[in-house]
Amino acid sequence: MPNLLANGGPMLWVIFFAGAAGIVIFIERALHCHRAQINSTEFLNGVRTVIKRDNVVEAISICDATPGPVARLVKVAILNRDHGRDRVREALEEAGLSEVPRLEQRLDLLTTIAQLAPLMGLLGTVLGFIKSFTILQGQALYANSNTMTEGVGQALICCAAGLAVAIPIHAGYNYLVSRVNTIVTDMERAANEIVNIVTENGRSKSS
């Protein structure tokens, strides 16, 4: 490993820095998705039970104590319950528009790293071959295999490093996108259910 670092040239360190940044972003986003995803069915059942007892304060407390966008959407619906079904839906749509970007935050940076890593590896490859040809041109007949293979080795190391960074980061990006899509689906389902819960409770009180 030390020999690879020593022979990889300056582009190898740039690739490693990009890979380290990608790992940090992936871990942070994975933890964020883990905290954001809850058992929405169990959560909504608890909120429904409390609202049927007309205990709005406890329902809001449950939402405040539960992390994630689903709980925040449910809280918005509860706070707007007295303004009619259409207003509740509008409030949920507005809240949803602010929640989705939070889930997708920094995913564009992750996919950028996955796309740039092979290109940086290719640049390192080209620089390695340029180094070999420069040595060959300067030493001409006196060039030996050791001086030639140094540049070729740098080229191959950078190419491999670029791919080694890009492949897992691209896989991690796809994993995070699937997690985000799952959470968004939960948000949509929870929004539909909480609209029915608060409006049905309002009708039952008026009757």
Select, from the ranges 57-61, 82-86, 202-206, the one with the highest average predicted confidence (pLDDT): 57-61
Closest CA to 122 of 18, 7, 20, 11: 11
Rounded CA-CA distance 183/157 in Å is 40
Count of the separate structural domains present in the chain? 1
Per-residue pLDDT band at 198 (split at 50, 70, 90)? confident
207 domain-assigned: no
| pLDDT of 177 over the 90 cut | yes
Give the residue numbers spanning the domain of 52: 2-202
Mean pLDDT of the chain: 86
| pLDDT of 139 over the 70 cut | no
CB 107 within 8 A of CB 173: yes
* CA atoms within a 13 Å half-sphere pointing along the CA-CB vector of 81: 24
pLDDT for residue 5: 56
pLDDT for residue 20: 95
Instruction: Name the percent of the chain lying above pLDDT 90.
Output: 59
Residues 6+ apart with CB under 8 A from 40: 70, 186, 189, 190
Ranking 53-57, 104-108, 130-134, 147-151 by mean pLDDT, the lowest is 147-151
pLDDT for residue 146: 62
20 domain-assigned: yes
CB 47 within 8 A of CB 59: yes
Closest CA to 132 of 157, 156, 150, 159: 150
144 domain-assigned: yes
CA 14: distance to chain centroid?
Answer: 22
pTM greater than 0.85: no
Q: Position 14: which residue type? A: V
Closest CA to 15 of 113, 94, 96, 117: 117
Ranking 4-18, 93-107, 112-126 by mean pLDDT, the lowest is 4-18
Closest CA to 68 of 107, 95, 108: 95
Rounded CA-CA distance 19/162 in Å is 9
Evaluated on CA atoms 140, 145, 147, 148, the torsion sign reads positive
